[in-house]
Structure formats: C-alpha cells, structure tokens
Chains A and B, each alone.
Chain A
Amino acid sequence: MFYYEGLLSALETEEQKTTATHIFERYESLMFHIAFDYVKNESDAEDLVMQVAENICNNIEAFIGKGDKSLARMVARYTRNAATNKYHELKRKATVSFDETYMEDESREEAITEFECSILTDGEYFGYLQEYVTKLPEAYQDVLMYRYVEEMNCRQIAKLLNMSESTVSTRVNRALKQLARLFEEGRMRV
C-alpha cells in the first residue's frame, strides 16, 4: 500500500479514495498474478501493477459503485490488457499491435444491420451465440463485456481503455457483426 499513497493523494473525493483503496487492498495480488502470468517476470509484473493502479486511479469513476464480482472482472480485464501490451512491448515485435492489426479501419462507423440484430436477439440462437462469443478476439470480448455486462457507455469505456469514443463504438459494432457472421457461417456449414 505504500506505493499507492501517492496515487491515492491525487484523488479528489473520499469516495474515490475509498474505492481505490479497496481495489488495491483486495485485488493487488490478483493484479500481480495476472501480470506475472503474462510477463513471467517479477519486476515487470510489479511495474505493470503500478501502471494498472495508475490507470485505475485515472479512471476511478468507472469503478465506483461496482460490486465485488464486477470489480474483480474489471480489474482482471484491465490488468490483462495492460499485460498484453507489455508483453508485446517486451517481445519488441516488429509487427504492429493487436489493435492496429485487427482494428485498422475502426475510425469508420459501422452500425449493425437489422438482420444482424435479429440474429443476436433471437432467444433460440443464444446457445450457439454463447459458443461463438468465446471465439471472438479478446479485445472484442472486452469491449462487449464493458458495454453490456458492466453497462458502461462508450465514453466511459474509451476513457478506461485510453482510446477515442468512436473507436470504442466501432469496436463494439464490429464485435457484434463478427459474432453474427460466425453464427451465420456455422449455420451455413450445417
């Protein structure tokens, strides 16, 4: 907790400080283990935890009022994203990042069609869709989780993930489209 004192002092309200303190006390080890799982290095994992803690403090509003389960998921997802970026950074890959590879054209808004919406909202297909949703890239799963399970709006997600609001919106739409496409492809094969 000694390391977090500086971060906590930067927070404005008591509610923010309480939430941040609770997150650091309860989920510090979780953050560390997830980070270590990715970078396989104790010092890098500690750096990553500090980085995640800083990001959490910067977006503390998104965590306020969440239940323990929701907080754990958010912290885990947050750490996993940071760890993935760190992992790529450590590997010094010449290739472009995941976001750049898969979302290079995200600036263009793509709304889901009526047909795609009908697939995703048809209760009969939920079983299949639940199977296909796990096959989506992690980045897509993350935004969908933030958007529909944590019930955050695009602005909050954008701030949390440090990206533009339109990118988040496009990513959500693309995730939904890809899910509908996977379902359609599966149905075609059958």
Chain B
Amino acid sequence: MSTMINDIRLRESMKIILRPVAEKEDEYIRRMDADTRPAPATLHAKLQSLLEKFILKERRKHRMTWLKRSAIIAAVILMLAMAACMAIEPLREKIFGYFVTWYEDYFELKIDAPATTMLDDATAAPLGTFNYIPEGYEIVEDIQLGDKRKVFFQNNEDNQIVFMVDAVKQQQNYDVKYDFQQQSIGEFSVMMLLGTEKRRTRLIWFDEYYRYELVGIVPLSEFEKMIESMT
C-alpha cells in the first residue's frame, strides 16, 4: 500500500519536476516548427518601427541606384548623340557654324573714358564740321543738343548720309554685330563696319572726347575725303 502511495506521489511530483524539460521541448518544437511558418502578421511596435526604418533605408538605396543608373544612361545617350552629330557632316557644320557665328557676331569694343571731363567750351563750337561734302548732297537737318550732334545730308535721289557725334563720358562697351576693318584716315583711326544692311557704309572713329559716326550708301572714298576734311 505504502509503495503504491509512494508511486502515485512520485508520479505527480515528477510531472511538476519535469515541467522545465517539457517547456524546453516545447520551445525547441516551436523553433523548429517556425521554420515553415509565415512571419506573424502583427509585430511588436518596436520591431515594426525598426523594420520600417530598414525598409525605408533599403528603398532609398534602391532609389539612389536608379538615379545613378539613369544619370549614366543619360550621359551615354548624350555622348552618343554628340558623336553622331560629329559624324554627320551637315549637322557638324551647322553646330560649329552656330558657335563660330555667335563668336564672330558679338564681341566687346571697349572705349576708355577721357582722362578729364569734357571741355566746357566744347558745346559752344559746332561738333565736327566737314569742308568736303560728296557731290549732290546738302545739309537738310542739323540737330545739336548739348554734347550730341546729328547732321543729315541728302541728295536729289533722296539718299542720305547721317553724321553723328556723341561725347564719350565714361568707358562704354559697344556690341558690334558685324565684322569690321580698321584703317587710318587723316589723323583718325577709323573702324569700317562691313556687311551692313542695304549696302550701307558705316564708319566710326574717336578723338579724345567724342565718338563720330558716318552712315550712308556712299563709296568709301567719299567718306574718306569727308573725314580728312573734318575740322
């Protein structure tokens, strides 16, 4: 009887004593069985936030990779396009022509300002007077406002020569659209602009204080004579 009671007591005691072994086994089973189970749908908040951060980081990495790839592809396409343009003659000429024209058409003409201010009596005397005027031309209008003067010459065929005088008060930059030649006429160094519209001749020159300009459809030799005769 005593053995039987002991046996029952032992059985019940061992059930309790063996609990850690059973728990360990259960844990082992859970771990092993989990290998085939999907991840839980609801995660711990901390784990969830960590996971989200990780995903964001990965996405950013992925995005950067695509940006880099896109930039490389764009650069390659650009280079290929340029190479193609260089290989095709008409395109090449057009492209180079554009740059060359642009460079030729626009350049800066820098004029230094006079060392002293304009003479007080400069306005009193007429600015630039020609002793020689091309045949058939006569002055039709003479406008002088301060240190500016504009004279219009006209012949019977209504062709005009315009003479302009303007004071150089400070350093001025002139965008000269057309090509020009420089030559000495009398005591001046004159710029002759070439290729102007309507076959006009346009000459520009300077002295110490003024900028002079002559425009008109007149042979260059006539203009040269006018400039030489200027007082």
Q: Which residues of A contact B (CB under 8 A)?
A: 29-30, 33-34, 37, 69, 72-73, 76-77, 114, 117, 120-121, 123, 126, 129-131, 133-134, 141, 144-145, 147-149, 151, 176, 179
Contacts and interface: CB of A to CB of B under 8 A. Distances in A.
B32 A117 contact: no
Contacts of B17: 120, 126, 129-130, 133, 179
B183 to A, nearest CB: 98
Question: Is chain B's binding surface mostly helix, strand, loop or mixed?
Answer: helix
A73 B6 CA distance: 27
Given A29-B35, A133-B20, A76 B29 contact: yes
A145 B11 CA distance: 11
A33 B33 contact: yes
Nearest to A26: B33
Given A117-B6, A133-B18, A145 B29 contact: no
B33 A130 contact: no
A121 B8 CA distance: 10
Interface residues of B, number: 23
Given A120-B10, A120-B14, A126-B16, 14 more contacts: A29-B33, A29-B35, A33-B32, A33-B33, A76-B25, A114-B6, A121-B10, A126-B17, A130-B16, A133-B17, A134-B20, A141-B21, A149-B22, A179-B17
B24 A77 contact: no
A144 B21 contact: yes
Of B10, B28, B32, chain A has the most CB atoms within 10 Å of the CB of B32
Contact of B15 (A30, A34, A131, A149): A149
B2 to A, nearest CB: 9
Contacts of A149: 15, 18, 22
Contacts of B19: 130
Nearest to A142: B21
Contacts of B22: 73, 145, 149
Contacts of A145: 18, 21-22, 25
Contacts of B42: none
A117 B8 CA distance: 11
Nearest to A28: B36
B117 interface: no
A37 B29 CA distance: 12
Given A117-B6, A133-B20, A76 B13 contact: no
A69 B23 CA distance: 11
Interface string B21-59: 110111011001101100000000000000000000000
6 contacts: A33-B33, A33-B36, A73-B29, A141-B21, A148-B15, A176-B10
B13 A126 contact: yes
B9 interface: yes
A57 to B, nearest CB: 21
B14 A30 contact: no
Nearest to B11: A148
Contact of A73 (B15, B25, B36): B25
A144 B22 CA distance: 11
Contact of B33 (A30, A114, A120, A126): A30
B201 to A, nearest CB: 98
A89 to B, nearest CB: 21
B191 to A, nearest CB: 93
